[in-house]
Chains A and B, each alone.
Chain A
Amino acid sequence: MKNPSKRITWKEISRQKFLMVCAAIFFVYGIVFYYVPLAGWVMAFQNYKPKDGFFSQFVGLEKFKFLFSDEVFLRDIRNTLAMGVLNLVTTFLMAIIFAILLNEVRNMFGKKLVQTISYLPHFLSWIIVTGILHDALSSSGIVNELLVNLGILDSPINFFANPSYFWPIVAFANVWKETGWNAIVYLAAITSIDPSLYEAATLDGAGRWGKIWHVTLPGIKSTIMILLIMNVGNVLNAGFEVQYLLGNGLVKSVSETIDIYTLTWGISQNDYSLGTAAGIFKSVVAIILILGANWIAKRAGEDRLF
């Protein structure tokens, strides 16, 4: 057997010149929009002043020291991770469960209708979703009214005043908004499963549960793995809008995320250096998480990103 040549020759390049040009466009795009802005990271090591720009006073790791000696920042890391993991697990599981259940619906019209309705919330902006939540969960809102009238509660509870409700409310909001949308990918993956596998399973005596367990789930396992790895990197993007819009003084200790911290110090207090330092920290953690998840997937012998 002759190994395919790995050498890059001019001939090869000219043969692929069209593809090369196409690739170059995106390569340049990537450099300009993803790597050039990284030059701004230098701000994290300076005492950046907009007036002095790039030539601001250099302070080394000062800003990072401030960050990690600030209890509020450490608390915000905890909140971000907690909400990120909670959101990841709930939205991820719900999307898969929802896709499988929807796939089992035999009535095409009902299936389409449910699917369309379920992904509509995705197109609402967070400001609207939080507005609805704020109304629904207020002490005179529909949820409290229902609970009191059903005799489950004696008096209305103020859901937003109790820190222990905050994470579940955020997770619920995410699930409500994104389940239908996220399920689309899984539904697509399910349709690509070879129908003969189901027939074979039926012949082998598998019921509905058996088919879900032995055919559908293994069929979409690689999709699940890839999406999981990609989403793990997003754990620290636990959100900004939801927490910013739903938070208040009382639940500050559980609602503030790294992004909000960056906003308060970086933008409001005009300390771009501190904001950048927090941002760098976030990026580093995200890279570690992605590499970690990828490594685990590799170990488990599954499909992986790279």
Chain B
Amino acid sequence: MKVKLWRRVFAASMSAAMLLGLTACGGSASTESSESSESSDGIKTFTMFIAMPGSEINDDNDIMNIIAEKTGAKLKETWLTGQTDAEAIGTIIAGGEYPDFINGGDAMMSLYDAGVLVPWDDYLEKYPNLKEMYTDEEWDKFRQDDGKIYWANVFQNTYGEDRATTHNDEAFWIQARVLEWAGYPEIKTLDQYFDLLESYADANPTMANGTKNIPYTALCEDWRYFCIENAPQFLDGYPNDGSVIVDTDTMQVVDYNTTPTAKRYFQKLNEEYQKGYVDVEFATQTYDEYIAKLSTGAVLGMCDQWWNFAYNVNDVFKQQGLDEQGCNYVPLGLTIDEGMENRWHNYADTLNNSSGVAVTTSCSDIDAAFKFMNDLLDQEIHDLRYWGVEGVDYLVDENGMYYRTEEMRMQCSDPAYQASHMCNYSYMPQWLGTSRDGKNAMQPDQQASEFLDSLSTPLQKLFEAYGVDSYVDLIGSVKEEPGPWFPMYSYSGSMTTETPGGVAWVKMGEVKHEWLPKVVMEPDFETTWNEYMTAYNAANPQDFLAEMQTELERRAGL
């Protein structure tokens, strides 16, 4: 009897222990361990979390190994999945385990507040390639309230001469086949844009393979709702300050959500929705569904940022041969009325000081981490990252210019090849513009010859018809340097709920998330718009605007 009891108790405690073990595993598996490990061949492996969705590369990636041999280090990247950047970073802070490198999107301030970032100041003097990224004035913009630099933005940073060919900004995009069908008309206003989409969709209800054409869609998911939300600032001819318009005549911030242009824009979307030209699922689709939809080539137009769709969609178009059917998107510089200047394209570098790459205090060899970033900016390594291996991914002609054959381009657009061979380290320090050899572009899509040769036939015809050499020419924005306050979104991006303005900013976002799709879908536009405005004003936007105004005056030195 006694033995039996013992046995029973033993079994019970074993199962309890197993349960405990299970829950413990569930709790700790979520974040990457921060231990940078050194393997037997002396190659360090750093970990990095990037608060943006991306594709992981294979562990035995060819170029990653070449870079590891040359620099003595490699990087294991982990990307955002199914969360917002703020949620992911918040979870990491709450968990208290950090990777060696972190690129926290708009949530860098939270990391700084948690006191887990390593200041760059000492290392900047030691590593010239890093120092070279920005001028002293620019570096000063990254300084936090304790006077130190904790991160550096890696994007939109041009070395030497600017080589921009793509419009890496927001625009109303339209498929080349629509413009070709209409005989390449000049499309200047929102009304003309939708007129064209309507008439094309009426004349061509389906694609060649029978898929039904979707004239217009708008992504509303989470932070990506800028696709529906911020067009009014551009339609009024202002640049992408992101959260407000800066009226340069009066030096006042203006709320683009409540301008007459905003109302006209949403009224237009509402009309088109009622007529059935706007995708019925626009408000409920997820980002993945949106990309899948665009990848079928059926969507004729949308408003979006180039980087939000092009890297996914263009590769699919090329692999599926849809680029030859004219499915590629080209940007249009629309305004609300005819004859206005547009500022969709920003010619200068945009210095978003609220986001960037940082080294955390969990990193066991901080000096090596900075050295690694420095090495990644060496021209040889930079070429490996973006051009690939000479002779395999690109060739060099007698003038020293890099180029790719059609076969190489096809290969480089194949996701499987990208995972096994290419290694961009795309959220680490990098350059745009001209290579240190003075001839080539830092990145292939900026190489003019490469850009023009890689264009599909419909795009080449379109460029010829409009007499332009690049997407930038096509959108035709005013060439001017924005003021020192630009972009204002770098301030709203770093606001916290400590201040009334920060609270208002969160609440305004919540209201807009709910009401913007509603405003487009409800049959009675006027009533819905008024209800929306009531809800919007209840979020106290004036608190937010007041803080933005103060910051504008600080930045403009008024």
Contacts and interface: CB of A to CB of B under 8 A. Distances in A.
A, B bound: yes
Interface of A: 18, 22, 25-26, 49-51, 71-72, 127, 134, 138-139, 156, 158, 160-161, 248-250, 252-253, 263-272, 274
Given A156-B280, A253-B514, 16 more contacts: A25-B13, A26-B16, A49-B113, A50-B115, A51-B115, A139-B280, A158-B283, A161-B521, A249-B514, A249-B517, A250-B514, A250-B518, A266-B90, A267-B91, A269-B497, A270-B110
Nearest to A71: B538
B281 A270 contact: no
B359 interface: no
Interface residues of B, number: 37
Nearest to B225: A249
A263 B289 CA distance: 24
Interface in B389-444: none
A268 B93 CA distance: 10
Contacts of B497: 265, 269-271, 274
B147 to A, nearest CB: 17
B166 interface: no
A253 B535 CA distance: 12
A250 B113 contact: no
Interface string B529-545: 00000000010000000
A25, A51, A270, A274, most chain B CB atoms within 10 A:
A270
Nearest to A253: B514
Contacts of B507: 72
B351 to A, nearest CB: 24
14 contacts: A22-B9, A22-B13, A50-B114, A72-B507, A72-B510, A134-B286, A156-B280, A161-B283, A250-B517, A252-B510, A268-B86, A269-B496, A270-B86, A271-B497
The 8 lowest CB-CB distance pairs between A and B, nearest first, are A267-B90, A268-B86, A249-B513, A50-B114, A160-B284, A252-B514, A51-B115, A270-B110
B90 A270 contact: yes
A161 B514 CA distance: 11
A22 B10 CA distance: 10
Contacts of A160: 284
Given A248-B220, A270-B93, A127 B115 contact: no
A32 to B, nearest CB: 11
Contact of A139 (B91, B94, B281): B281
Contacts of B516: 249
B283 A250 contact: yes
A263 B91 CA distance: 9
A269 B115 contact: no
Nearest to B115: A51
B13 to A, nearest CB: 7
A268 B280 contact: no
A39 to B, nearest CB: 16
A248 B283 contact: yes
A4 to B, nearest CB: 22
B97 interface: no
A272 B94 CA distance: 9
Q: Which has the most chain A C-beta neighbours within 10 Å: B90, B115, B518, B538?
A: B90
Interface in B500-523: 506-507, 510, 513-514, 516-518, 521
Most buried by B among A71, A127, A252, A267: A267
B87 A248 contact: no
B34 interface: no
Interface of B: 9, 13, 16, 82, 84, 86-87, 90-91, 93-94, 107, 110, 113-115, 220-221, 225, 280-281, 283-284, 286, 289, 496-497, 506-507, 510, 513-514, 516-518, 521, 538
A51 B87 contact: no
Contacts of B514: 249-250, 252-253
Nearest to A246: B284
Contact of B281 (A158, A267, A269): A158
Nearest to B91: A267
A145 to B, nearest CB: 14
Contacts of B283: 158, 161, 248-250
A247 to B, nearest CB: 10
Nearest to A72: B510
A51 B514 CA distance: 34
A269 B86 contact: yes
A156 B281 CA distance: 11
Nearest to A160: B284
Contacts of B84: 268
Nearest to A156: B280
A249 B113 contact: no
Contact of B86 (A25, A26, A139, A267): A267
B87 A268 contact: yes
A50 B98 CA distance: 14
Nearest to B521: A161
A65 B325 CA distance: 59
Contact of B284 (A71, A248, A263): A248
B205 to A, nearest CB: 15
Nearest to A137: B284
Nearest to B505: A269
A69 to B, nearest CB: 11
A158 B518 CA distance: 13
Given A266-B90, A268-B87, A252 B82 contact: no
> Which of A71, A127, A249, A267 has the most chain B CB within a 10 Å cutoff?
A249
Contacts of B513: 249, 252
A75 to B, nearest CB: 11
Contacts of B538: 71
B284 A269 contact: no
A255 to B, nearest CB: 10
A267 B497 CA distance: 12
B226 to A, nearest CB: 13
Contacts of A248: 220-221, 283-284, 517
A236 B248 CA distance: 51
B113 A270 contact: yes
B49 to A, nearest CB: 15
A250 B510 CA distance: 11
B198 to A, nearest CB: 19
A72 B514 CA distance: 12
Contact of B87 (A156, A253, A263): A263
A160 B510 CA distance: 18
A33 to B, nearest CB: 9
Contacts of B496: 269-270
A49 B111 CA distance: 11
B221 to A, nearest CB: 7
Nearest to A265: B497
B168 to A, nearest CB: 27
B280 A158 contact: yes
A141 to B, nearest CB: 10
A269 B506 contact: yes
